[in-house]
Structure 1
Amino acid sequence: MEADNLRTVTITSGREPFSLLAGGSLPEVTIAYETWGELSPARDNLILITTGLSATSHAARHAPGDEPGWWEAMVGPGHPIDTNRYFVVCTNVLGGCFGSTGPTSVNPASGSPYGADFPVIHVEDMVQAQTQVLDHLGVERAFTVIGASLGGMLAFQWGAQEPGRAQSICAIAAPGRSYAFSIAWRAVQRRAVTADPAFQDGRYEPGHGPVAGLNHARAIGILSYRSAEEFDPRFGRDWDEAAGCFAVESYMNHNAAKFGTLFDANSYLTIARSMDFFDLGRGAASYEEGVARIKSPSLVVGFTSDLLFPLSQQREVVEILRRAGRPVRYAEFETIYGHDTFLIEIHRLGALLTEFFASVPSGGQA
């Protein structure tokens, strides 16, 4: 995350406390975000990127010397999310630990970090906070809200909750509600965190949290994000002499080892639980009616090898939208890269996004 380009807005400034869907409120809410490109004179070219569980707001470089972003090949001049044309915004979610209000933030009532006392957050709350970032930027309606995984849930929720504020949505590798199998994956990940003695029921000192538990949770997550179709030919039974273990173990250890020092455990639990609670049917007479609240043109993308949110869950949303007469486009990628395909097959996904953006009847050039 590039600190020089990280911006924050206190969305509760001069307002009432931020009310939460689960009850209660937060007296002060700050949201961190980054931007690329220029807002058009008509203020109609904003693309909001909504992130997954662990991503920061740093989706791409701002200048050649910057650290690469997590969607580097997708966002930038001449890229599918073209910053020569679009004003791109990416926020850190409410409950996060990269600049937005979350468990590491100071509770004004106590003068200490919220920690384990941070309230339950729902995807609806995250969307509400993001709408107020748009208010701060003076933008009434986003050209597109796009995201994958939790970011795809957020994109769906934008369409249902804020139908007048998103000209279109793109939901990638996401369901319309969480089902038992993905909840089970996250339950095991949470157990890895809470079983670490350093967790201390969530009341660890800042900087002294359950690093090992978070690393284990990340390793479990990686298994749900990739596939046997990729791992078996990629690693086989190769032995890593330097590491003294199988090559696939070395890969898992390397990718998990840095996570625990970067992410806060209480934030991880908060965001993961918000994914469990996600349901477009909440507040509607039925799930189908909840999904049908999405009226904007939608692009829904699924991946054949996605273990976490399988194709049946994207197809379910698309079928409901089609029965309701909503404008929706659907694409399935035959791929071995699992849930993480959106980070890997940039060329295929980028071509699809470019085609979809061209079909949306708004979004002027800056």
Structure 2
Amino acid sequence: MKTLSIGSYTLESGQVLPDVQVAYVTHGTLDAQGANAVLVTHGYTSGPSMLSPGHHTAEGSWASLLGPGRPLDTDRFFFVCSNMLGSAFGTTGPRTINAATGKPWGPDFPAVTLHDIVGVQHRLLEKLGVQHLRAVAGPSYGGWQALQWALQYPEMVDAAGVLMSGITHPPGLGAEEQRKRFAASPQWHGGWYYEHGGMFDTLFEMRLQTLRNYGLERLYEDRMPTAEQRQAELERQSRDWADKFDPNSMVVLAGAAEHFDVRPRLDEIRARLLFVVCTTDKIFPPDPAVTQALDQVRGEKRYRELDSPYGHMASGVEWRRLEDDLRWLLP
């Protein structure tokens, strides 16, 4: 993973973030025209490792899809996966030191939007020499980013891949709801927990429940014969994440998405659109209202309901069944 400074960035609110650092990973080679790039966008609580072998996120790894001749073909395309603004895996966020105070931004980190997140990605790509995107694709929160790209920089994006995601933000998952969840913990300290030992216990328990909700336990049933083994692996994954993530990032990113709703603008999308949902996804289940709304998209599109027991995790676990869809996205 690399980190690049994109300089100061003016947020949609008008507030200026000084010296924004962006963590990212690349695969393949950018062509001389800067026109063969693909941006892979990650989920709410994961980072820029979706294409990197040995890494596993809540959405699953896409490393098996990457390589010469693979659906994510490194002989043809230059892939970039960057950590979101406000996240906790290397990009400027609440855990970053605020130069004005010498301490982490913490709960004082400014509110950001999907527009800001995509704008920071755009600045990063410019600095990397990218002039055009063959596609933007990602699962869950990454799907929202792909849609935002198609609307914010329509002249730059050929295709958008939206997997196990939606066209609006689910109710009950906003910044205030997240803040209240954390405030119930004695480790919270009003969001200033950095000097009080952090919030490992709270994050660990939260992650265990999230992985179960995402369908990871169902995946382990296919791989591990005993309940004890499955529980041990769930706990290992949860400990690893709880050691690294920042609760304030969860609040910031929830706030960035809570007003996300592209329904009024779907007819503006000109990019080729891949939209995949999973039949057992509790967060973004198949919804006739969504399929009807997608009729407004004027460009070429492919909609598919993936029949899988793996719920929100299906975009990673079922990668073999997505190969044809991704080849359609990147002809």
| TM-score in terms of structure 2 length | 0.89
The Cα shift of 1:113 comes to: 1.5
The Cα shift of 1:192 comes to: 4.3
Q: Does 1:200 align with 2:189?
A: yes
Structure 1 stretch 70-79 or stretch 34-43: which is displaced more? 70-79
- Distance of aligned partners of 1:259 and 1:187 in 2 relative to their CA distance in 1, 3 Å threshold: farther
The answer for the alignment partner of 1:266 in structure 2 is: 248
- Distance of aligned partners of 1:8 and 1:355 in 2 relative to their CA distance in 1, 3 Å threshold: same
Q: Does 1:329 align with 2:302?
A: yes
Question: How do residues 202-217 of structure 1 correspond to structure 2 at under 5 angstroms?
Answer: 202-205=191-194, 208-217=197-206
Structure 1 stretch 81-90 or stretch 19-28: which is displaced more? 19-28
The answer for the alignment partner of 1:351 in structure 2 is: 324
The answer for the alignment partner of 2:92 in structure 1 is: 101
Letter in 2 for 1:330: Y
Q: Does 1:306 align with 2:297?
A: no
Question: How do residues 63-82 of structure 1 correspond to structure 2 at under 5 angstroms?
Answer: 67-68=54-55, 70-82=61-73
The answer for the alignment partner of 1:364 in structure 2 is: none
Q: Report the aligned-residue RMSD.
A: 2.7
- Distance of aligned partners of 1:29 and 1:233 in 2 relative to their CA distance in 1, 3 Å threshold: closer
- Distance of aligned partners of 1:27 and 1:232 in 2 relative to their CA distance in 1, 3 Å threshold: closer
Letter in 1 for 2:284: F
The Cα shift of 1:253 comes to: 3.0
Residues 21-47 of structure 1: per-residue CA shift (max 9 Å, x gap): 345231231211111110123322101
Task: Check the 8 A contact 1:189/1:221 in 2, yes or no.
Answer: no
Residues 206-260 of structure 1: per-residue CA shift (max 9 Å, x gap): 68211111112212322331289x47976999653xxxxxx66445433322221
The Cα shift of 1:337 comes to: 0.4
* Distance (Å, rounded) in 2 between the aligned partners of 1:252 and 1:81: 29
Larger Rg: 1
* Distance (Å, rounded) in 2 between the aligned partners of 1:257 and 1:67: 16
Task: Check the 8 A contact 1:59/1:75 in 2, yes or no.
Answer: no
Task: Check the 8 A contact 2:178/2:250 in 1, yes or no.
Answer: no
* Distance (Å, rounded) in 2 between the aligned partners of 1:206 and 1:327: 52
- Distance of aligned partners of 1:78 and 1:194 in 2 relative to their CA distance in 1, 3 Å threshold: farther
Among all aligned residue pairs of Structure 1 and Structure 2, give the percentage whose two residues are the same amino acid: 29
Task: Check the 8 A contact 2:65/2:323 in 1, yes or no.
Answer: yes
The Cα shift of 1:188 comes to: 6.6
Task: Check the 8 A contact 1:297/1:328 in 2, yes or no.
Answer: yes
* Distance (Å, rounded) in 1 between the aligned partners of 2:188 and 2:241: 15
Task: Check the 8 A contact 1:192/1:213 in 2, yes or no.
Answer: no
Secondary structure in structure 1 of the residue aligned to 2:276 = strand
The Cα shift of 1:324 comes to: 4.8
The Cα shift of 1:128 comes to: 0.6
Q: Which runs of 5+ in 2 are unaligned?
A: none
The Cα shift of 1:293 comes to: 2.2
The answer for the alignment partner of 2:293 in structure 1 is: 320
Q: Does 1:256 align with 2:231?
A: no
Task: Check the 8 A contact 1:103/1:115 in 2, yes or no.
Answer: yes
- Distance of aligned partners of 1:48 and 1:211 in 2 relative to their CA distance in 1, 3 Å threshold: same
* Distance (Å, rounded) in 2 between the aligned partners of 1:104 and 1:208: 14
Task: Check the 8 A contact 1:21/1:124 in 2, yes or no.
Answer: yes
- Distance of aligned partners of 1:91 and 1:231 in 2 relative to their CA distance in 1, 3 Å threshold: closer
The answer for the alignment partner of 1:126 in structure 2 is: 117
Q: Which runs of 5+ in 1 are unaligned?
A: 1-5, 241-246, 281-286, 359-366
* Distance (Å, rounded) in 2 between the aligned partners of 1:37 and 1:232: 32
The Cα shift of 1:137 comes to: 1.7
The answer for the alignment partner of 1:9 in structure 2 is: 4
Residues 264-287 of structure 1: per-residue CA shift (max 9 Å, x gap): 12112212332333222xxxxxx3
* Distance (Å, rounded) in 1 between the aligned partners of 2:221 and 2:206: 25
* Distance (Å, rounded) in 1 between the aligned partners of 2:330 and 2:4: 28
Task: Check the 8 A contact 1:120/1:270 in 2, yes or no.
Answer: yes
Task: Check the 8 A contact 2:275/2:304 in 1, yes or no.
Answer: yes
Task: Check the 8 A contact 1:189/1:218 in 2, yes or no.
Answer: no
| TM-score in terms of structure 1 length | 0.81
Aligned length: 327
* Distance (Å, rounded) in 1 between the aligned partners of 2:27 and 2:196: 31
Question: How do residues 127-166 of structure 1 correspond to structure 2 at under 5 angstroms?
Answer: 127-166=118-157
Task: Check the 8 A contact 2:30/2:36 in 1, yes or no.
Answer: yes
Q: Does 1:226 align with 2:201?
A: no
- Distance of aligned partners of 1:94 and 1:199 in 2 relative to their CA distance in 1, 3 Å threshold: same
